[in-house]
Amino acid sequence: MAEKGVTAGKLASNVQKKLTRAQEKVLQKLGKADETKDVAFEEGVINFNKQLAEGSKLQKDLRAYLAAVKAMQESSKRLQECLVDMYDTDWYGKEDVDSIAEDTDLLWTDFHQKLVDHALISMDTYLGQFPDIKARIAKRDRKLVDFDSARHHFASLQKGKKKDEVKMAKPVSLLEKAAPGWAQGILSAHHVAQTNLSRNQVTAEEELGRAQKVFDEINVDLQEELPSLWNSRVGFYVNTFQSVAGLEEKFHREMGKLNQNLNDCLTKLEDHNETGKAGKVGVKTAGPVKSVKPQEAANHSLSPAGGSAPAIPKSPSKAEAPGGNLLDMDMTSLQPAVSPGAVASSPAAQAPSWDTWEADTTVAAPATAGTDATAAPVVPEAGANESPEAAEMPPAFVFKVIAMHDYVANDSDELEMKAGEVVLVVNFDNPEEQDDGWLMGMKEALWLQDKEACPKGVFPENFTQRL
Closest by CA position to 54, among listed 208, 217, 233, 194: 233
End-to-end alpha carbon distance in the chain: 127
List of domains in the chain: 21-273 (1.20.1270.60), 324-364+377-466 (2.30.30.40)
* Angle separating helix axes 130-178 and 39-86, nearest 10 degrees: 160
Per-residue pLDDT at 33? 66
189 or 99: which carries more pLDDT confidence?
Answer: 99
Distance CA 40, CA 11 (A): 35
Distance CA 333, CA 302 (A): 15
Q: What distance lies between CA 92 and its chain's CA centroid?
A: 25
pLDDT single digits (tens) 19-46: 777 766 677 676 666 667 788 888 999 9
Distance CA 207, CA 149 (A): 10
Residue 84 has pLDDT above 60, yes or no: yes
Task: Indicate the pTM of the whole model.
Answer: 0.47
pLDDT single digits (tens) 400-411: 999 998 988 888
User: Buried b vs exposed e over 100-125: b needs ≥16 C-beta within 10 Å?
Assistant: bbebbbebbeebbebbbebbbebbee
- Read off the pLDDT of each residue in 52-63 and give the average, rounded to a whole number: 95
Per-residue pLDDT at 3? 57
- What Rg do the C-alpha atoms of the chain give, in angstroms? 54
Residue 450 has pLDDT above 80, yes or no: yes
Show the 3-state SS of the chain: CHHHHHHHHHHHHHHHHHHHHHHHHHHHHHCCCCCCCCHHHHHHHHHHHHHHHHHHHHHHHHHHHHHHHHHHHHHHHHHHHHHHHHCCCCCCCHHHHHHHHHHHHHHHHHHHHHHHHHHHHHHHHHHHCHHHHHHHHHHHHHHHHHHHHHHHHHHHHHHHHHHHHHHHHHHHHHHHHHCCHHHHHHHHHHHHHHHHHHHHHHHHHHHHHHHHHHHHHHHHHHHHHHHHHHHHHHHHHHHHHHHHHHHHHHHHHHHHHHHHHHHHHHHHHHHHHHHHCCCCCCCCCCCCCCCCCHHHHHHHCCCECCCCCCCCCCCCCCCCCCCHHHHCCCHHHHCCCCCCCCCCCCHHHHCCCHHHHHCCCCCCCCCCCCCCCCCCCCCCCCCCCCCHHHHCCCCCEEEEEEECECECCCCCCECCECCCCEEEEECCCCHHHCCCCEEEEEEHHHHHHHHHHCCCEEEEHHHEEEC
Contact 161, 201 (CB under 8 A): yes
Distant-in-sequence, close-in-space partners of 378: CB < 8 Å, separation ≥ 6: 346, 362, 363, 364
Per-residue pLDDT at 369? 39
Pairing relation of β-strands 397-403 and 438-443?
unpaired
Q: Provide the pLDDT confidence category of residue 141 given band limits of 50, 70 and 90.
A: confident
Distant-in-sequence, close-in-space partners of 289: CB < 8 Å, separation ≥ 6: 283
Q: Provide the pLDDT confidence category of residue 345 given band limits of 50, 70 and 90.
A: very low
* Angle separating helix axes 39-86 and 121-128, nearest 10 degrees: 160
Per-residue pLDDT at 40? 87
Per-residue pLDDT at 160? 66
Contact 460, 279 (CB under 8 A): yes
Torsion of CA 5, 7, 9, 12, to 10 degrees: -140
- Read off the pLDDT of each residue in 337-347 and give the average, rounded to a whole number: 41
Across the chain, mean pLDDT equals 74
Contact 400, 420 (CB under 8 A): no
Q: Provide the pLDDT confidence category of residue 146 given band limits of 50, 70 and 90.
A: confident
Q: Provide the pLDDT confidence category of residue 196 given band limits of 50, 70 and 90.
A: low
* Angle separating helix axes 181-276 and 121-128, nearest 10 degrees: 170
